[in-house]
Amino acid sequence: MLILHRKKGESLVINDNIKVTIVDVSGEKVKIAVEAPKEIPILRTELVTAVEVNKEAVKTNGLSANDIKSMLGISKNKK
């Protein structure tokens, strides 16, 4: 992994068709501009994770409404 320092206004180029610019830095937040060809998907990492977790959530491997209710229902966790 390449790790480098950049200041506000500085940029870097990946594969001569993707340009990443540090637009602003304030406190813990860094504002980044990415210029890349349209066909290259750019996603925030947390969005990728959110999609993965959602896909896992819809796979309930044959559990029935009653199974779910008896495991997670209020009567269960409130005694």
Residues found near another protein in the complex (CB under 8 A):
44, 46-47, 49-58, 60-61, 63-65, 68-69, 71-77
Closest by CA to 12, choosing from 42, 40, 35, 39, is: 35
* Closer residue to another protein, CB minimum distance, 4 or 74: 74
Minimum CB separation of residue 19 from another protein in Å reads 26
The answer to whether the CB of 28 falls within 8 A of the CB of 12 is no
The answer to whether the CB of 33 falls within 8 A of the CB of 20 is yes
Minimum CB separation of residue 28 from another protein in Å reads 10
